[in-house]
């Protein structure tokens, strides 16, 4: 097969791929093609894993206290707004929490839902700053594979969500994730403000439980699709993606909870501290949504998304 034939085949496949795309989001920022976001994601991965650490190798860690305070509470405000928009565009104004289809019409509410999906998608790029701050502060133990994978895969998969399926039952996990982000980034912000605010963080111990509840709810909601007798949801592939993602992180959190709170409680205090440190600095510290961008907090830090 000649080069021109290969090029024509790829071009034809690409055009067919977009035949079922949502025309409403076609011209929105980053939406015309997946390649611009791919460039951003690749640049992010290269910076936090290779370029950034090399640049910081002979430099003193940056003191980003004030920046972290502003950043965390800004994300809180954005997450509150996203929650409100998800509720007003469907989840509090007509969705059944069962087989909710995507409304591709140009009605104000349908377009509002699509815009909210795009805003949630775009917020995933903002949250990449979590990892960048880790690198600039030389907190390399937090830059784990799962942490970077999470921050890379969320915007990547959500591009397809906004471009093809901006609404319906596939957005429930985004609403829940935004609610959790309000709580998590409030914690990060207060933590970044210093020891004087520790008295306001008495609820720290409940954060892992909140994350567990999130993933149970996400998995339960999306998996009901398989038990509904008639649910013509337009893009079932997203059901499989969301369900897989929810179950993976539910398993990771349950494993962490067992080692940190169940198994760990039976250990002497010194060994408990070692067990906790192991999880806060190891792979599990990244499984959460976010990322403990103020201080090290184990799975409490995530960001994070499902």
Active site residue 150: yes
Mean pLDDT over residues 130-145, rounded? 94
304 close to 253: Cβ distance less than 8 angstroms = no
For residues 56 and 58, what is the distance between their CA atoms, to the nearest angstrom? 6
Annotated catalytic residue: which of 150, 181, 221, 303?
A: 150
Task: Report residue 296: phi and psi, to 5°.
Answer: -75, 125
Residue labelled with tokens 């982000």: 181
Per-residue pLDDT tens over the stretch 240-290: 999 998 888 888 778 877 777 776 554 444 434 333 333 333 333 333 444
DSSP result, 61-123: PP--HHHHHHHHHHHHHHHHHHHHHHIIIIITTT--SSS-----S--HHHHHHHHHHHHHHHH
Report d(CA 303, CA 129) in Å as an integer. Answer: 11
Encode pLDDT of 187-220 as tens digits: 999 999 999 988 889 888 788 889 889 999 999 9
Answer for the pair 131, 143: CB distance below 8 angstroms, yes or no. yes
What pLDDT shows up at residue 211?
A: 87
Residue of higher predicted confidence among 289 and 50: 50
Q: What is the pLDDT of residue 36?
A: 96
Q: Which two tokens stand for residue 170?
A: 């596939």
Strands (E), 138-249: none
Within 10 Å of residue 7's Cβ, how many Cβ atoms? Answer: 10
Structure-model confidence comparison of residues 290 and 158, the more confident one: 158
- DSSP 8-state secondary structure symbol assigned to residue 262: I
Let me know if 155 is exposed, middle or buried by CB neighbors in 10 A (0-12, 13-18, 19+): buried
pLDDT at 3: 65
């Amino acid at each position: 097969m000649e080069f021109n034939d290969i090029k024509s085949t790829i071009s034809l496949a690409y055009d067919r791929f977009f035949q079922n795309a949502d025309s409403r989001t076609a011209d929105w920022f980053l939406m015309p093609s997946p390649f611009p976001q791919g460039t951003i994601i690749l640049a992010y991965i290269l910076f936090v894993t290779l370029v950034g650490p090399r640049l910081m190798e002979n430099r003193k860690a940056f003191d980003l206290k004030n920046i972290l305070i502003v950043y965390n509470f800004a994300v809180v405000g954005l997450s509150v707004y996203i929650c409100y928009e998800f509720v007003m565009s469907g989840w509090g104004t007509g969705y059944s929490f069962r087989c909710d289809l995507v409304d591709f019409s140009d009605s104000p509410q349908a377009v509002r839902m699509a815009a909210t999906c795009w805003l949630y998608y775009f917020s995933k790029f903002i949250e990449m700053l979590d990892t960048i701050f880790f690198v600039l502060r030389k907190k390399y133990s937090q830059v784990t594979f799962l942490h970077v994978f999470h921050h890379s895969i969320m915007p990547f998969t959500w591009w397809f969500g906004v471009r093809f399926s901006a609404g319906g039952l596939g957005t429930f996990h985004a609403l829940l994730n935004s609610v959790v982000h309000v709580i998590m980034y409030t914690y990060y912000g207060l933590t970044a403000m210093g020891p004087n605010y520790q008295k306001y963080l008495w609820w720290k111990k409940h954060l892992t439980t909140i994350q567990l509840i999130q993933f149970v709810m996400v998995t339960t909601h999306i998996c009901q699709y398989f038990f509904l007798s008639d649910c013509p949801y337009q893009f079932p592939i997203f059901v499989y993606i969301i369900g897989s993602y929810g179950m993976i992180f539910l398993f990771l959190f349950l494993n962490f909870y067992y080692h940190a709170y169940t198994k760990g409680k039976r250990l002497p205090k010194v060994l408990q501290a070692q067990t906790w440190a192991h999880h806060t600095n190891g792979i599990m510290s990244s499984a959460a949504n976010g990322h403990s961008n103020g201080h090290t907090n184990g799975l409490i830090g995530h960001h994070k998304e499902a």
